[in-house]
Structure 1
């Protein structure tokens, strides 16, 4: 499997413009969430998606955008006083799925459970919550309201809160052998090298996903833009002397074993052209990746 670039919308200030630049560059997957761009990201994708039906889109459930809170309270889908910023109550998940589909103008191809580690005090408690959410998402997939689902996490798969194997087993328990659990999303970059080191040693979430046939969406490949200014000439040369330092940083995520899509928030045609230059390069070998890890550590 060769990792592809996908368009992320987390840091996009102007989602329609950024998305147009990505689609014109040939990107065919867009990732978003109800809480991105102050709650406007999904609606901003409606027109681009209508014009490009071949493009696939993933969104998320879990966070409670401030702009949606009163509507959720009025619908009675937020438990308690409704003041929480994150909610995986089954009623809220179902409500958010309907809202996302309406805003996107189509059924999302994937829906990620967004940072399920939020509020989970133990793995057992997290899995109790995920069981209800997976049941709701399996029903939505069976009804054609979503194409499939996954888990997007910042630290859950690297802290021991969840494992890909356990998530897959949960999906099988809920949905049977034909379950719709399709993907995980987690950070993979030069500042998140431990997950890459584990994959090279045949363990960890990337390797578990590869063995289970689960797609991996690598998020924050440039660490939210921090790597753009932090890359040194020497490090860039160590990775690939024929590309720019920024391209070299991106190439690390693209070369990670098991990664299917690398999510990049780029706002202009020039940025996408630069990124596609990295994507066109031969992927780094395991030996080269180990050298990078030896220099930087995990």
Structure 2
């Protein structure tokens, strides 16, 4: 495959343990957020990142962990309303949170994703919200608090709220031609097959990101662990004979044009080894991917 396997920490019960296991087995990327593991994920990763200096890390800004709400309000970074809602992309909060994430992680994050910017946002407000957030992230880059930024979405592309060209236009408006927008993160799986189908037809967010030089992080490739239990043996054999259902599902994601990293959330060493084996195989052909789309639909 051309994609690489990275650790996603959203569903990890012990983020530090999962990161050590992944790093010791060759993973070079871990993705986290301030609200993961009950707000403890970033601090839990600090010692792991110190022990594995080549391990790259991305975090997010948007969802406010309960442990940071009072602190953020007292610091003047959060309004009481945003603290109650638990999500904020106001410039003051972004500046405060990315500085806090840097301290928690013990190093400059390689990428900071805007976490579900479509959350609780009206369509007519979205462009202004994103532009002001990009301005704050460009300022953080100029101050070397972060290295680059991206957008992590769940339904933003699929709902038609925005597309990659719109993101690039706003990033250029905020940071000029040398802006620091470097990545997008979106769900790609046997449940979220639309990006795969679009890529096969030469359009959609994965192709647009590839053409723009943005790295794509595929999140939820096993849809929260549900996919292995619903993939039939016939479908597994159609995709990759002799594989497990999880390996077949991961192979589809890793073989899709534009996907650069597949984020797997697991602390189980056997699951990680099987996933690494699946992602390390030659990519599936477009014909196989089309058959999967034809069988499952989008």
- TM-score, with structure 2 as normaliser: 0.98
The Cα shift of 1:79 comes to 2.2
The Cα shift of 1:80 comes to 4.4
Equivalence map 1:1-298=2 (5 Å):
2-81=2-81, 82-122=83-123, 124-298=124-298
**Helix, strand or coil at the partner of 1:26:** coil
| 2:73–2:80 Cα contact (<8 Å) kept | no
Give the whole-Å Cα distance in 2 for the aligned partners of 1:127 and 1:178. Answer: 20
**CA shift digits 1:261-284 (9 cap, x unpaired):** 000011122111111110121111
Give the whole-Å Cα distance in 2 for the aligned partners of 1:258 and 1:89. Answer: 31
| 1:8–1:263 Cα contact (<8 Å) kept | yes
| 1:7–1:265 Cα contact (<8 Å) kept | yes
Give the whole-Å Cα distance in 2 for the aligned partners of 1:205 and 1:158. Answer: 9
**Helix, strand or coil at the partner of 1:247:** helix
| 2:77–2:93 Cα contact (<8 Å) kept | yes
| 1:79–1:89 Cα contact (<8 Å) kept | no
Q: 4+ runs of 1 displaced by more than 3 Å? A: none
Range that drifts further, 157-166 or 103-112: 157-166
Unaligned runs of 5+ in 2: none
Give the whole-Å Cα distance in 2 for the aligned partners of 1:84 and 1:78. Answer: 11
**Helix, strand or coil at the partner of 1:159:** coil
| 1:184–1:217 Cα contact (<8 Å) kept | yes
Report the count of equivalent residues: 297
**Helix, strand or coil at the partner of 2:84:** coil
Give the whole-Å Cα distance in 1 for the aligned partners of 2:227 and 2:106. Answer: 35
Give the whole-Å Cα distance in 1 for the aligned partners of 2:141 and 2:74. Answer: 26
Give the whole-Å Cα distance in 2 for the aligned partners of 1:246 and 1:156. Answer: 26
Give the whole-Å Cα distance in 2 for the aligned partners of 1:48 and 1:134. Answer: 29
Give the whole-Å Cα distance in 2 for the aligned partners of 1:79 and 1:130. Answer: 18
Aligned-CA RMSD value: 1.0
Give the whole-Å Cα distance in 2 for the aligned partners of 1:162 and 1:56. Answer: 28
**Helix, strand or coil at the partner of 1:223:** coil
Give the whole-Å Cα distance in 2 for the aligned partners of 1:280 and 1:186. Answer: 21
